[in-house]
């Protein structure tokens, strides 16, 4: 069993209105110094050892990301890591 | 200028219907061996050097995550890294 993280972010040339809304909200809340925010998605997968890197790449490309407007990165992580703790 | 990543994931005890839908879709698409998927959010921030770790923690806790149902992790990353390239 392995844990895999797939990060999906809007491409640099794609407008990100959610991120811009956050920048605006931070200013109104009194946080200064935040120049840019972009919002994407993070997927944490638990996979069998039968799932290889090529499978993971296909899963990310075909199902998790829209590669027209998004980039993705697939990372295998040690079990302890991640925001889930 | 620094780049900061904030990962926000649903807590382990919180149901994640989006993640479960992905598990179901993967099965129908012929990918086997995916035991669990959880979907969260990833924020990439560009911040001034005036923004310290305490500020980032407050931003994540007060604006980016709903700490009733989500955990978050704040990470400063070297400029080259990230799914944005």
Query: B4: helix, coil or strand?
Result: strand
Closest-CA residue to B9 (of B81, B64, B80, B82): B64
State the DSSP string of B12-61: TTS--HHHHHHHHHHHHTT---EEEEEEEEEEEEEE-TT--HHHHHHHII
Enumerate the domain spans of chain A. 2-77
Fold classified for A2-77: Mth169; Chain: A , (3.30.1280)
pLDDT digits (tens, 9 = 90+) for A15-48: 999 999 999 999 999 999 999 999 999 999 999 9
Whether the predicted interface score ipTM is above 0.90:
no
**Nearest neighbour of B44 by CB, restricted to A9, A47, A84:** A9
Q: In the structure encoding, which two tokens stand for residue A8, read together? A: 């999906």
B60 contacts B6 by C-beta, under 8 angstroms: yes
Residue B50 with chain A: CB contacts under 8 Å: 32-33
Among B34, B42, B72, the residue with its CB nearest the CB of A45 is B34
Chain segment B65-74, per-residue pLDDT in tens: 999 999 999 9
Interface probe, candidates B12, B19, B33, B60, chain A, greatest A C-beta count within 10 A: B33
pLDDT > 90 in chain A, percent = 88
pLDDT at B75 (0 to 100): 96
Helix, strand and coil content of chain A, in percent to the nearest 5, comes to 30, 35, 35
Q: How many CB pairs under 8 A join A and B?
A: 134
Closest CA–CA distance from residue B24 to any residue of chain A (Å): 12
User: Cα(B50)–Cα(A61) distance, rounded to whole angstroms?
Assistant: 37
């Amino acid at each position: 069993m392995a844990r895999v993280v797939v990060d999906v972010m809007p491409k640099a040339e794609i407008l990100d209105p959610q991120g811009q809304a956050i920048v605006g909200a931070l200013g109104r809340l009194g946080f200064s110094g935040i120049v840019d925010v972009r919002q994407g998605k993070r997927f944490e997968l638990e996979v069998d050892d039968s799932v290889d890197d090529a499978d993971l790449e296909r899963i990310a490309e075909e199902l998790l990301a829209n590669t027209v407007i998004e980039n993705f990165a697939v990372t295998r992580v040690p079990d302890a890591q991640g925001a889930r703790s």
